[in-house]
Protein backbone atom coordinates (compact mmCIF):
# COMPACT_ATOMS: atom_id res chain seq x y z
CA UNK A 1 0.00 0.00 0.00
CA UNK A 2 1.33 3.45 -0.91
CA UNK A 3 2.07 6.11 1.74
CA UNK A 4 -0.95 8.04 0.51
CA UNK A 5 -3.14 5.02 1.06
CA UNK A 6 -2.03 4.85 4.67
CA UNK A 7 -3.19 8.40 5.27
CA UNK A 8 -6.60 8.68 6.89
CA UNK A 9 -9.50 10.49 5.25
CA UNK A 10 -8.91 13.65 7.28
CA UNK A 11 -5.28 13.68 6.16
CA UNK A 12 -6.38 13.38 2.55
CA UNK A 13 -8.72 16.35 2.97
CA UNK A 14 -5.86 18.40 4.45
CA UNK A 15 -3.94 17.84 1.21
CA UNK A 16 -6.69 19.75 -0.60
CA UNK A 17 -6.56 22.78 1.72
CA UNK A 18 -3.91 24.71 -0.32
CA UNK A 19 -6.05 24.29 -3.42
CA UNK A 20 -9.23 25.13 -1.52
CA UNK A 21 -7.77 28.44 -0.36
CA UNK A 22 -7.67 29.58 -3.98
CA UNK A 23 -11.46 29.12 -4.15
CA UNK A 24 -12.18 30.30 -0.60
CA UNK A 25 -15.00 32.83 -1.36
CA UNK A 26 -16.99 30.30 -3.39
CA UNK A 27 -16.46 27.64 -0.75
CA UNK A 28 -17.77 29.93 2.01
CA UNK A 29 -20.79 30.75 -0.14
CA UNK A 30 -21.54 27.07 -0.74
CA UNK A 31 -21.18 26.39 2.99
CA UNK A 32 -23.49 29.28 3.84
CA UNK A 33 -26.16 27.94 1.48
CA UNK A 34 -26.33 24.78 3.61
CA UNK A 35 -28.09 26.75 6.36
CA UNK A 36 -31.35 27.56 4.51
CA UNK A 37 -31.30 24.08 2.94
CA UNK A 38 -31.07 22.42 6.37
CA UNK A 39 -33.70 24.71 7.91
CA UNK A 40 -36.21 24.15 5.10
CA UNK A 41 -35.58 20.41 5.35
CA UNK A 42 -36.23 20.41 9.10
CA UNK A 43 -39.37 22.57 8.90
CA UNK A 44 -41.20 20.30 6.46
CA UNK A 45 -42.04 17.51 8.96
CA UNK A 46 -43.29 20.11 11.44
CA UNK A 47 -45.59 21.64 8.84
CA UNK A 48 -46.96 18.21 7.94
CA UNK A 49 -47.53 17.46 11.63
CA UNK A 50 -49.31 20.81 12.13
CA UNK A 51 -51.49 20.15 9.12
CA UNK A 52 -52.52 16.70 10.36
CA UNK A 53 -53.20 17.79 13.94
CA UNK A 54 -54.92 21.01 12.95
CA UNK A 55 -56.80 21.63 9.69
CA UNK A 56 -57.21 17.96 8.71
CA UNK A 57 -58.74 16.89 12.03
CA UNK A 58 -60.85 20.04 12.26
CA UNK A 59 -61.98 19.90 8.65
CA UNK A 60 -60.59 23.37 8.00
CA UNK A 61 -60.05 23.39 4.22
CA UNK A 62 -58.72 26.94 4.13
CA UNK A 63 -56.19 26.19 6.85
CA UNK A 64 -55.13 23.01 5.05
CA UNK A 65 -54.52 25.03 1.89
CA UNK A 66 -52.26 27.42 3.77
CA UNK A 67 -50.30 24.49 5.19
CA UNK A 68 -49.87 23.15 1.64
CA UNK A 69 -48.68 26.57 0.50
CA UNK A 70 -46.07 26.69 3.25
CA UNK A 71 -44.91 23.15 2.50
CA UNK A 72 -44.61 24.02 -1.19
CA UNK A 73 -42.70 27.19 -0.30
CA UNK A 74 -40.19 25.26 1.82
CA UNK A 75 -39.73 22.78 -1.03
CA UNK A 76 -39.06 25.58 -3.49
CA UNK A 77 -36.57 27.22 -1.13
CA UNK A 78 -34.87 23.92 -0.41
CA UNK A 79 -34.47 22.83 -4.04
CA UNK A 80 -33.47 26.32 -5.20
CA UNK A 81 -30.70 26.73 -2.63
CA UNK A 82 -29.69 23.08 -2.94
CA UNK A 83 -29.33 23.42 -6.71
CA UNK A 84 -27.33 26.63 -6.34
CA UNK A 85 -25.10 25.08 -3.69
CA UNK A 86 -24.55 21.94 -5.76
CA UNK A 87 -23.56 24.00 -8.81
CA UNK A 88 -21.01 26.01 -6.81
CA UNK A 89 -19.55 22.87 -5.24
CA UNK A 90 -19.15 21.16 -8.60
CA UNK A 91 -17.56 24.29 -10.07
CA UNK A 92 -15.08 24.55 -7.18
CA UNK A 93 -14.36 20.83 -7.46
CA UNK A 94 -13.53 21.17 -11.15
CA UNK A 95 -11.23 24.13 -10.48
CA UNK A 96 -9.42 22.19 -7.76
CA UNK A 97 -9.06 19.22 -10.11
CA UNK A 98 -7.62 21.45 -12.84
CA UNK A 99 -5.12 23.02 -10.40
CA UNK A 100 -3.98 19.60 -9.15
CA UNK A 101 -3.61 18.35 -12.72
CA UNK A 102 -1.48 21.38 -13.67
CA UNK A 103 0.77 20.95 -10.64
CA UNK A 104 1.21 17.23 -11.26
CA UNK A 105 2.03 17.76 -14.92
CA UNK A 106 4.60 20.40 -14.03
CA UNK A 107 6.08 18.07 -11.42
CA UNK A 108 6.25 15.09 -13.80
CA UNK A 109 8.05 17.08 -16.48
CA UNK A 110 10.78 17.95 -13.96
CA UNK A 111 11.45 14.35 -12.89
CA UNK A 112 14.68 12.63 -13.86
CA UNK A 113 14.82 10.28 -16.80
CA UNK A 114 15.67 7.38 -14.48
CA UNK A 115 12.24 7.72 -12.91
CA UNK A 116 10.58 7.15 -16.27
CA UNK A 117 12.82 4.14 -16.88
CA UNK A 118 11.43 2.33 -13.83
CA UNK A 119 7.85 3.68 -13.91
CA UNK A 120 5.41 2.57 -16.64
CA UNK A 121 3.91 5.45 -18.58
CA UNK A 122 0.44 3.94 -18.19
CA UNK A 123 0.62 4.37 -14.42
CA UNK A 124 1.61 8.02 -14.80
CA UNK A 125 -1.29 8.63 -17.18
CA UNK A 126 -3.67 7.05 -14.67
CA UNK A 127 -2.36 9.26 -11.89
CA UNK A 128 -2.70 12.38 -14.04
CA UNK A 129 -6.22 11.62 -15.28
CA UNK A 130 -8.60 9.31 -13.45
CA UNK A 131 -6.86 9.52 -10.07
CA UNK A 132 -6.95 13.32 -10.19
CA UNK A 133 -10.66 13.21 -11.04
CA UNK A 134 -11.26 10.91 -8.08
CA UNK A 135 -9.37 13.31 -5.80
CA UNK A 136 -11.53 16.19 -7.01
CA UNK A 137 -14.62 14.17 -6.21
CA UNK A 138 -13.38 13.90 -2.62
CA UNK A 139 -14.24 17.57 -2.28
CA UNK A 140 -17.23 17.84 -4.58
CA UNK A 141 -19.16 14.84 -3.31
CA UNK A 142 -17.35 13.87 -0.12
CA UNK A 143 -16.28 16.77 2.07
CA UNK A 144 -19.17 19.09 1.25
CA UNK A 145 -21.61 16.18 1.34
CA UNK A 146 -20.49 15.41 4.89
CA UNK A 147 -20.94 19.06 5.90
CA UNK A 148 -24.41 19.07 4.34
CA UNK A 149 -25.39 15.92 6.21
CA UNK A 150 -24.07 17.32 9.49
CA UNK A 151 -25.99 20.58 9.03
CA UNK A 152 -29.21 18.71 8.24
CA UNK A 153 -28.66 16.38 11.19
CA UNK A 154 -28.10 19.26 13.64
CA UNK A 155 -31.18 21.18 12.48
CA UNK A 156 -33.35 18.04 12.45
CA UNK A 157 -32.14 17.11 15.95
CA UNK A 158 -33.03 20.55 17.28
CA UNK A 159 -36.53 20.31 15.83
CA UNK A 160 -36.95 16.77 17.15
CA UNK A 161 -35.98 17.72 20.69
CA UNK A 162 -38.29 20.74 20.55
CA UNK A 163 -41.21 18.43 19.76
CA UNK A 164 -40.53 15.20 21.69
CA UNK A 165 -37.26 14.99 23.56
CA UNK A 166 -37.84 11.37 24.63
CA UNK A 167 -38.41 10.07 21.10
CA UNK A 168 -35.54 12.19 19.82
CA UNK A 169 -33.19 10.69 22.41
CA UNK A 170 -34.33 7.18 21.44
CA UNK A 171 -33.59 7.86 17.77
CA UNK A 172 -30.16 9.24 18.61
CA UNK A 173 -29.34 6.08 20.56
CA UNK A 174 -30.31 4.01 17.52
CA UNK A 175 -27.95 6.07 15.37
CA UNK A 176 -24.88 4.88 17.34
CA UNK A 177 -24.78 1.23 16.08
CA UNK A 178 -25.72 2.35 12.57
CA UNK A 179 -22.84 4.83 12.59
CA UNK A 180 -20.48 2.06 13.68
CA UNK A 181 -21.53 -0.09 10.72
CA UNK A 182 -21.11 2.81 8.31
CA UNK A 183 -17.59 3.52 9.59
CA UNK A 184 -16.65 -0.15 9.21
CA UNK A 185 -17.92 -0.42 5.63
CA UNK A 186 -16.36 2.94 4.79
CA UNK A 187 -12.96 1.57 5.78
CA UNK A 188 -13.55 -1.57 3.71
CA UNK A 189 -14.61 0.57 0.75
CA UNK A 190 -11.49 2.68 1.09
CA UNK A 191 -9.20 -0.37 1.09
CA UNK A 192 -10.92 -1.88 -1.94
CA UNK A 193 -10.88 1.45 -3.77
CA UNK A 194 -7.12 1.86 -3.36
CA UNK A 195 -6.58 -1.67 -4.66
CA UNK A 196 -8.88 -0.94 -7.60
CA UNK A 197 -6.89 2.20 -8.46
CA UNK A 198 -3.67 0.18 -8.41
CA UNK A 199 -5.16 -2.48 -10.69
CA UNK A 200 -6.41 0.23 -13.05
CA UNK A 201 -2.96 1.80 -13.32
CA UNK A 202 -1.49 -1.64 -14.00
CA UNK A 203 -4.14 -2.29 -16.64
CA UNK A 204 -3.43 1.03 -18.36
CA UNK A 205 0.29 0.26 -18.29
CA UNK A 206 -0.25 -3.04 -20.11
CA UNK A 207 -2.43 -1.39 -22.74
CA UNK A 208 -0.02 1.49 -23.28
CA UNK A 209 3.06 -0.72 -23.51
CA UNK A 210 1.45 -3.15 -25.95
CA UNK A 211 0.13 -0.41 -28.21
CA UNK A 212 3.43 1.48 -28.35
CA UNK A 213 5.47 -1.70 -28.72
CA UNK A 214 3.05 -3.55 -31.01
CA UNK A 215 5.84 -4.23 -33.54
CA UNK A 216 7.98 -5.92 -30.89
CA UNK A 217 4.98 -7.88 -29.60
CA UNK A 218 4.21 -9.20 -33.07
CA UNK A 219 7.86 -9.84 -33.88
CA UNK A 220 8.36 -12.12 -30.86
CA UNK A 221 4.87 -13.64 -31.09
CA UNK A 222 3.77 -12.49 -27.64
CA UNK A 223 0.26 -11.50 -28.68
CA UNK A 224 -1.48 -14.44 -27.02
CA UNK A 225 0.70 -14.31 -23.89
CA UNK A 226 0.18 -10.57 -23.43
CA UNK A 227 -3.55 -11.01 -24.01
CA UNK A 228 -3.65 -13.53 -21.18
CA UNK A 229 -1.76 -11.10 -18.96
CA UNK A 230 -4.24 -8.35 -19.82
CA UNK A 231 -7.16 -10.70 -19.15
CA UNK A 232 -5.80 -11.60 -15.72
CA UNK A 233 -5.21 -7.99 -14.66
CA UNK A 234 -8.60 -6.99 -16.06
CA UNK A 235 -10.26 -9.72 -13.99
CA UNK A 236 -8.41 -8.54 -10.87
CA UNK A 237 -9.54 -4.97 -11.53
CA UNK A 238 -13.14 -6.07 -11.99
CA UNK A 239 -13.00 -8.03 -8.72
CA UNK A 240 -11.72 -5.02 -6.78
CA UNK A 241 -14.36 -2.75 -8.33
CA UNK A 242 -17.06 -5.24 -7.33
CA UNK A 243 -15.78 -5.05 -3.76
CA UNK A 244 -16.15 -1.29 -3.77
CA UNK A 245 -19.67 -1.61 -5.19
CA UNK A 246 -20.68 -4.04 -2.44
CA UNK A 247 -19.71 -1.54 0.28
CA UNK A 248 -20.69 1.74 -1.42
CA UNK A 249 -24.42 1.83 -0.46
CA UNK A 250 -23.63 1.44 3.25
CA UNK A 251 -20.49 3.54 3.59
CA UNK A 252 -22.12 6.53 1.89
CA UNK A 253 -25.25 6.63 3.94
CA UNK A 254 -25.74 9.99 5.73
Over the stretch 108-132, which tens digit does the pLDDT of each residue have? 888 888 887 777 777 777 777 777 7
Hey, how many other C-beta atoms are within 10 angstroms of the C-beta on 34? 20
CATH of the domain at 120: 1.20.1560.10
pLDDT at 142: 62
pTM: 0.63
Q: Which pLDDT belongs to residue 10?
A: 62
Q: Are residues 189 and 129 in the same domain?
A: no
144 and 51 both lie in a single domain: yes
Statement to judge: residues 12 and 107 lie in one domain: yes
Rounded Cα distance between 93 and 25, Å, is: 13
Q: How confident is the model at residue 1 (pLDDT cuts 50, 70, 90)?
A: very low
Range of the domain at 101: 1-163
Among the three residues 163, 192, 219, which one is the final residue of a domain in this structure? 163
77 and 94 share a domain? yes
How far lies 191's CA from each of 30, 35, 53, 182, in Å?
30, 33, 49, 14
Asked if 107 and 173 sit in the same domain, the reply is no
**Residues 103 and 205 placed together within one structural domain of the fold:** no
Same domain, residue pair 132 and 219? no
Asked whether residue 169 falls in the same domain as residue 144, the answer is no
- Considering 163, 181, 200, which residue would you say is the last residue of a domain? 163
* Terminal alpha carbon distance of the chain: 28
For residue 251, is pLDDT > 80?
Answer: no
109, 136, 163: which is the final residue of a domain?
163
Taking only the tens place, the pLDDT of each residue in 88-107 is: 888 888 888 888 888 888 88
Q: Are residues 153 and 188 in the same domain?
A: no
> Do residues 104 and 124 touch, judged by C-beta distance below 8 A?
no
What pLDDT sits at residue 113? 80
Quote the number of domains for the chain: 2
Same domain assignment for residues 188 and 74: no
DSSP the chain: --HHHHS-HHHHHHHTHHHHHTTHHHHHHHHHTHHHHHHHHHHHHHHHHHHIIIIIHHT-HHHHHHHHHHHHHHHHHHHHHHHHHHHHHHHHHHHHHHHHHHHHHHHHHTS-HHHHHHS-HHHHHHHHTHHHHHHHHIIIIIIHHHHHHHHHHHHHHHHHHHH-HHHHHHHHHHHHHHHHHHHHHHHHHHHHHHHHHHHHHHHHHHHHHHHHTHHHHHHTT-HHHHHHHHHHHHHHHHHHHHHHHHHHHHHT--
Does one domain contain both 123 and 153? yes
Same domain, 135 and 186: no
Amino acid sequence: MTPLAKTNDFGLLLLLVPYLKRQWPQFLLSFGLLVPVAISFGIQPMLVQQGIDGPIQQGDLAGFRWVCVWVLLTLVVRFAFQGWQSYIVQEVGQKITADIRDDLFRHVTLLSTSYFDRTPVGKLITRLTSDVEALGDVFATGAVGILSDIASLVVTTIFMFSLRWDLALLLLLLVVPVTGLIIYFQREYRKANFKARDRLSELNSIVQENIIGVNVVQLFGRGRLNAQMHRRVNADYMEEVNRTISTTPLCRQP
